[in-house]
Amino acid sequence: MTDLLTMQWRDVLFAHWRVDPEVVEKQLPSEVTVATHNGDAFLGIVPFEMADIRPRGSPIGRSFPELNLRTYVRQPGSQTRGVYFFNLDADDTIGVEIARRGFKLPYYHAKMELTRNAASEGKNKTIHITSKRTRDTVAPARFEATYGPVDGANYVQPTTGSLTAFLTENYQFYTDGRTLYRGTIRHSPWKIAEGHITIKENTLFTANGFEPPSDGPIVHYASDIDVTAGWIQSIGNSSEE
């Protein structure tokens, strides 16, 4: 993979809900199938700060809050799992346009705030995020939550084959437009801690055609990680054509 972009993801929260695989499968393009762990599919909301994203070699980067709704998929005959994004909301007009045009990703501009408490570098670390889409021409979506690592939690690399690895260790992503595209990212293995989240408002599920969750999520947290990304490639014809 030729590195095109470098970036850092900070204060990453993974909140996942178990979902019937058939419910998710209906929302996917035909070129991929939902990936499961012990028979369960998952929908995940991942808020974080996209920090210092820049083209390779550029002296200037951009930073902004971001969150996405995702599931996990495979191509038929492949054991390699990847992220399928239903949406990515971000508070950066230029970044959203570049991602939509250059990477075909379903980015939407949103007014967002991500703030950290005074103890953000020590015990009782909490992050508060709010998000509201700004354009009336797309499905409205709001999200507000407070999250962080459980106090005293250990940061460990997920065990291969574990649920934690299934939900976090994914190095490919897929996005659907006039055709299906696949991209690749690189980073060191995650160091994951048990996390907590209190959700005040969440309409991301309904904005993407899913019923809102009726139970609490499985929660993981990671403090930061350096990431590189390459060009996307077309891998098939979308059912939308």
Using an 8 Å Cβ cutoff, are 129 and 145 in contact? Answer: yes
- CATH number among 2.40.400.10, 3.40.50.2300, 2.60.120.10, 3.10.20.30, domain 5-237: 2.40.400.10
Structure tokens that stand for 3 in this block = 């590195």
Q: Which pair of structure tokens corresponds to residue 49?
A: 């700060």
The pLDDT of residue 230: 87
pLDDT at position 240, please?
40
pLDDT confidence of residue 239? 44
What is the per-residue pLDDT for 241? 35
Residue whose tokens read 């696949």: 182
For the chain, the domains span 5-237
pLDDT of residue 146: 98
> How deeply is 34 buried, as exposed, middle or buried, from its count of CB atoms within 10 A (0-12, 13-18, 19+)?
buried
Q: Report pLDDT for 168.
A: 98
At residue 46, the pLDDT reads 99
Name, in order, each residue with C-beta under 8 angstroms of 52's C-beta and a sequence gap of 6 or more: 6, 7, 8, 61, 62, 63
Residue reference for tokens 């998710």: 24
**What are the b/e assignments for 191-206, b being 16+ CB within 10 Å?**
ebbbbbbeeeebbbbe
Q: What helix, strand, coil percent values describe the chain, rounded to 5? A: 10, 50, 40
* Whole-number pLDDT of residue 18: 98
pLDDT by 10s per residue, the chain, length 241: 677 899 999 999 999 999 999 999 999 999 999 999 999 999 999 999 999 999 888 888 999 999 999 999 999 888 899 999 999 999 999 889 888 887 788 999 999 999 998 665 556 789 999 999 998 788 999 999 999 999 988 999 999 999 999 999 999 999 887 789 999 999 999 999 999 999 999 999 999 999 999 999 999 999 999 999 988 888 865 444 3
Dist. CA 83–CA 69, nearest whole Å: 10
Closest C-alpha to 19, from 31, 6, 4, 36 = 36
Residue 122, pLDDT score: 58
